[in-house]
Amino acid sequence: METRPSAVEIITLWSSLFLEADLPDHGEPTRRLIDLAATHRDDGVFSIDDPGVVWLKRQIAHGVGAYFSRSGRESAPEWGARGRFDVQEPGGYRPLANEPGAFLAGMYVLQWSPEQGVGGGRDDALPGCVSFYDPRVAMNMNAIKRDPYHRYHHSLLPRPGLLSMWPAHISYFVHPNRSREPTMAVRFGVQLHGPSSGNPRGPDGR
């Protein structure tokens, strides 16, 4: 399965870096990952022997390299990743959380319906979106209108083929799925290895 490098966008928010990339040629590998989500719900994604998983690991590696390059490093440190399938049925959501033990948290969107809102509710509820929250307590209280730190949260609209990464300590919330179809994603954490990292290697040796 051929892999073309993705064009990544990295934005600075709350003195942190957020990465977003719409992966090219994602159709076939994404379909394979959707099929795997139905049969390997409780398995570690990156330990599965499948061309779709190999493709995603390569894309994540490209994103990690771009992230550390933007951080001012010539190369990424030794790292590994642990991933899991996340399927949210209609009405499901993921409560506020972060990614303990990781340096970066990330998400690859497999399936997301733009027809949100079938269950009714508030117009500002951001159904199906992912919201990130400023980790600097009350920092936005010092901001003024049009200041980039005026908003205490940043929301991401998912779409199939989207790969995103952010600092693992930042808390995020997945809003309720208000479509008639389940949403699917691969969620993962990137751990750094080495004498000072304090992180063990993953089950696949990475």
pLDDT tens, position by position, 52-73: 999 999 999 999 999 999 888 7
Q: State the residue range of the domain holding 180.
A: 8-192
* Predicted TM-score of the model (pTM): 0.83
Torsions phi, psi for 103 (to 5 deg): -90, -40
In angstroms, rounded to a whole number, what is the distance separating the alpha carbons of residues 112 and 55?
Answer: 20
Q: Residue 48's closest CA among 67, 35, 63?
A: 35
| CA neighbor of 203 nearest in space, from 44, 57, 85, 97 | 44
Residue 105 and residue 50: Cα distance in Å, rounded? 23
Instruction: Specify the number of domains making up the chain.
Output: 1
Gap between the Cα atoms of 162 and 1, Å rounded: 18
pLDDT at site 56: 97
For the domain that residue 146 is a member of, what is the CATH number?
Answer: 2.60.120.620
Residue in 44, 73, 45 with CA at minimum distance from that of residue 59: 45
Span 79-134, pLDDT tens digits = 999 999 999 998 888 899 999 999 999 999 999 987 666 545 555 567 788 999 88
Evaluate if residue 26 carries a pLDDT over 70.
Answer: yes
Say what the pLDDT of residue 31 is: 97
Domain contains 205: no
How far apart, in whole angstroms, are the C-alpha atoms of residue 97 and residue 132? 10
- 136 inside domain: yes
Answer with the residue of higher pLDDT: 38 or 196.
38
**Residue 204 belongs to some domain of the structure:** no
Mean pLDDT score of the chain = 83
Which residue type occupies 35?
D
Q: What is the pLDDT of residues 122-161, one digit of tens each?
A: 555 677 889 998 887 766 666 666 665 566 778 888 999 9
The whole-angstrom separation of Cα 189 and Cα 170 is: 12
Average pLDDT over residues 18-46: 92
Domain assignment present for 180:
yes
| pLDDT reported for residue 194 | 67
Q: Give 43 or 70, the one with higher predicted confidence.
A: 70
Per DSSP bridges, beta strands 104-111 and 183-192 are antiparallel
Region 13-21 average pLDDT: 90
Let me know: does 165 contact 76? Beta carbons within 8 Å. Answer: no
Instruction: Place 39 in a pLDDT band, splitting at 50, 70 and 90.
Output: confident
Contact 117, 166 (CB under 8 A): no
